[in-house]
Structure 1
Amino acid sequence: MGQNAATTAFAPWNDPDANPLIRFENVTKRFGDFTAVNNLNLTVYEREFFALLGASGCGKTTLLRMLAGFETPTSGHILLDGQHINGVPPNKRAVNMMFQSYALFPHLSVWDNIAFGLRRTKMEKDEIGDRVQEMLRLTQLEPFGRRKPHQLSGGQRQRVALARSLAKAPKLLLLDEPLAALDKKLRQETQFELMDIQEKTGTTFVIVTHDQEEAMTVASRVAVMNKGNLLQVATPGEIYEGPNSVYVADFIGEVNIIEGTAKIVGPDELAIQYSENAPPIHAKIETEGFSDGQSVSYAIRPEKIGVSLTQDDPRPNKVKGTVIDIAYLGSTSTYHVRLDCGQMFSAQMTNVRRIEHREITWEDTVWLSWSNSAGLVLVK
């Protein structure tokens, strides 16, 4: 149920009558004096593709391991489908976990790897065969059923691990950095395959990743974590366009952040003074709760900013600077501009012309411009 694939109707988190599949209630996990997860409250709903996102050491993997049963909370409760699972061992939970290493049995064929868990249940032999075939079809591995893991590509091994994890039809599948070992192009292709498989099976997926692009691509919602704390939980679009803190704005995608002082200039507009020698930035915003002289941070994404050799752009915010560097990314180029006040700014433009016909180059004096609704004011 990724952001690109999900329908607007799928938003159980907005339904007050919807019961979460997973509920963390005031969960804390300590290792000695170190607090890995700090008094965390979180809900995940059935059929969600939920992403836990954050830098290394933020607590996301500890959260996943507590869900799987490999770690026990120091305090608080975890509920799965309404049942307390704090003391339930991993093999007694309707949960499966797919590890970063895939942990395939090297001496077993693909078919036998997928069947391994099923053979430990009371399932009939014919049913096992049918289920394995179903998993092979789902993951597009039918031609490879008799191969050993070492005869497969990295992407194929990843799909075997996924098929094995889904074979017992768990209510919940946990994925710990599942695409980290793949190269960038294959990782992008596999993200869409994961979304497709999750949607077809209806299984709830919880994925741990430090890759913001991956989280934004696959997830119905994203939880951003830092130092054991949950900073924001929202859809990818909401987190990108409406981060609730400077940390989230800075962590998700590229962003320009200016520190300044606010002045209310209208019922829905602030002027932010950030330099003695530059005009203030104007921001369209609900001004309730703001006051004159308040310290604020102003965040604006590079793609919201226009770059021009003249001041002709009619948008209200204009700043002058010098092009220090240009990152050519094929479809877009990012211009790194040093403003006259000394601050560095990034602006991104689509490359509609061939490179030899572009007007702006290194050391050019340029004007950056954007609308008063393009940025976001964040309270420090």
Structure 2
Amino acid sequence: MAEPNSKPNTTVFAPWTDPDAVPLIRFRNVTKRFGDFTAIDDLTLDIYEREFFALLGPSGCGKTTMMRMLAGFENPTEGRIEIGGQDMANVPPNLRAVNMMFQSYALFPHLSVYDNIAFGLKRSDMPKEQIPDRVNEMLRLTRLERFAKRKPHQISGGQRQRVALARSLAKAPKLLLLDEPLGALDKKLREETQFELMDIQEKTGTTFVIVTHDQEEAMTVASRVAVMDAGVIKQVDTPPAIYETPNSVYVADFIGDVNLIEGTAAKTGEHAYEITYAEGVDPIKVTECEHEIAEGAKVTFAIRPEKIVVTQDPPEDRANAMQGKIIDIGYLGNLSTYHVELPGGQMVKATMTNASRISRRDYTWEDTVWLGFRSSAGVVLSE
């Protein structure tokens, strides 16, 4: 029994930081070729039990090929894939503890919601008398009890998505693969369903691997994200780390909005640099740089628009201040975005929260303004 006023267990779920943790899924030097085309190039990756793992990247980057190899629909050209310590070579899809949920949902239109969920269980080795309890458990989990007797065409897109999810989870797979599962939903419903997915994944403890090209979706649902390009994983990390400390220009540019300023680095102290990016202007001061950069190296300074403030006068509380002219303004309701051109021609985007109702704009087109940001606000990238 816990002692009075004792703190609850707040252990962070991060098995990838534990050197003794055994991954559920292992990719080891996996390459997949289709003729002369290399879809996956020498990929090594670990995914852990109970993770909600996202494969994120543009169309054609190889993420769906990875998923199809996990499901058993494709075999690696080279390398090894393990699930639960077992080599998946020559293991057919129906003998893997894996289920896959497709973007189309693939529901049987002539069957009720109940019978769609029960379909796979009736063809499994589950005793018949246990099937109703399992189906009802899935209906409760996905909040579909009221719709059990309806056909797929009689329910909404979001409800059909939950039926497909319930059917996929009914056989209690170790691993559930989700291929763009929310792509058919409108934006608002997609955002609501993202949180439902997270809640269901946490309740079941099933490992989810989701394929998506939607950055916000991956950043919302995933415990870790793998950013892919041309069959190669560029970075694997938690959503905050991917966003705040990208390891390359590609990742910084792919995830969210970012300003990329090319320049030359000069060391000014421990973990501190100045980035010269144009003649006749002050260099960008950077601290808390996590990696060593060679003197005079060509680098890219990456800073998110929300890290930059727009002011009429030079900001005294910011290490960096740049003067420029407003070229464009975007009003998004909760945010206003300013495109500011610096004297050297560099365009910088700054995003400001509209904390109060706007009766008139503080700044307008062609205004001269100052942009300010802290020395720790951006990252220096050499790749």
With the shorter chain as reference, the TM-score category is over 0.9
Say yes or no: does 1:189 pair with 2:192.
Answer: yes
Q: Which residue of 2 aligns with 1:3?
A: none
- Given that residues 270 and 287 in structure 1 are in contact (C-alpha distance below 8 angstroms), is that contact kept between their aligned partners in structure 2? no
Q: Which residue of 1 aligns with 2:363?
A: 360
Q: Distance in 2 between matches of 1:277 and 1:159?
A: 59
- AA partner of residue 260 (structure 2): I
Q: Which residue of 1 aligns with 2:107?
A: 104
- AA partner of residue 94 (structure 2): N
- AA partner of residue 312 (structure 2): L
Q: Distance in 2 between matches of 1:296 and 1:276?
A: 16
| Alpha-carbon offset, residue 152 of structure 1 | 1.1
Alignment partner of 2:51 out of 38, 48, 62:
48
Alignment partner of 1:178 out of 162, 181, 184:
181
Say yes or no: does 1:222 pair with 2:225.
Answer: yes
Q: Distance in 2 between matches of 1:170 and 1:268?
A: 47
Q: Which residue of 2 aligns with 1:237?
A: 240
| Alpha-carbon offset, residue 286 of structure 1 | 4.2
- AA partner of residue 118 (structure 1): L
Name the TM-score, length of structure 2 as normaliser: 0.96
After TM superposition, the structure 1 stretch with the greater mean CA deviation from structure 2, 15-24 or 286-295, is: 286-295
Alpha-carbon RMSD across the aligned residues, in angstroms, is: 1.3
| Alpha-carbon offset, residue 320 of structure 1 | 1.0
Say yes or no: does 1:338 pair with 2:331.
Answer: no
Q: Distance in 1 between matches of 2:179 and 2:219?
A: 16
Alignment partner of 1:165 out of 162, 165, 168:
168
Say yes or no: does 1:375 pair with 2:353.
Answer: no
| Alpha-carbon offset, residue 345 of structure 1 | 0.7
| Alpha-carbon offset, residue 8 of structure 1 | 5.0
DSSP 3-state at the match of 1:347: strand
- AA partner of residue 190 (structure 2): R
Say yes or no: does 1:125 pair with 2:111.
Answer: no
DSSP 3-state at the match of 2:359: helix
Q: Distance in 2 between matches of 1:169 and 1:34?
A: 36
DSSP 3-state at the match of 1:346: strand
Say yes or no: does 1:75 pair with 2:83.
Answer: no
| Alpha-carbon offset, residue 265 of structure 1 | 1.6
Q: Distance in 2 between matches of 1:40 and 1:96?
A: 22
- Given that residues 215 and 222 in structure 1 are in contact (C-alpha distance below 8 angstroms), is that contact kept between their aligned partners in structure 2? yes
Unaligned runs of 5+ in 1: 1-5
- AA partner of residue 246 (structure 1): V
- Given that residues 267 and 287 in structure 1 are in contact (C-alpha distance below 8 angstroms), is that contact kept between their aligned partners in structure 2? no
Alignment partner of 2:327 out of 324, 327, 335:
324
| Alpha-carbon offset, residue 82 of structure 1 | 0.3
Q: Distance in 1 between matches of 2:48 and 2:271?
A: 36
- Given that residues 289 and 379 in structure 2 are in contact (C-alpha distance below 8 angstroms), is that contact kept between their aligned partners in structure 1? no
Q: Which residue of 2 aligns with 1:266?
A: 269
The 1:328/1:317 distance shift into structure 2, 3 A limit, reads same
- Given that residues 323 and 338 in structure 1 are in contact (C-alpha distance below 8 angstroms), is that contact kept between their aligned partners in structure 2? yes
Alignment partner of 2:153 out of 150, 154, 160:
150
Q: Over residues 309-348 of structure 1, what are the superposed CA-to-partner deviations in whole Å (9 max), with x where a residue is unaligned?
A: 1114321111111111111122111111111211111111
The 1:7/1:183 distance shift into structure 2, 3 A limit, reads farther
DSSP 3-state at the match of 2:119: helix
Name the TM-score, length of structure 1 as normaliser: 0.96
Say yes or no: does 1:293 pair with 2:296.
Answer: yes
Q: Which residue of 1 aligns with 2:285?
A: 282
DSSP 3-state at the match of 1:200: helix
- AA partner of residue 156 (structure 2): S
After TM superposition, the structure 1 stretch with the greater mean CA deviation from structure 2, 52-61 or 329-338, is: 329-338
Same amino acid, percent of matched pairs: 69
Alignment partner of 1:10 out of 13, 17, 20:
13
Q: Which residue of 2 aligns with 1:62?
A: 65
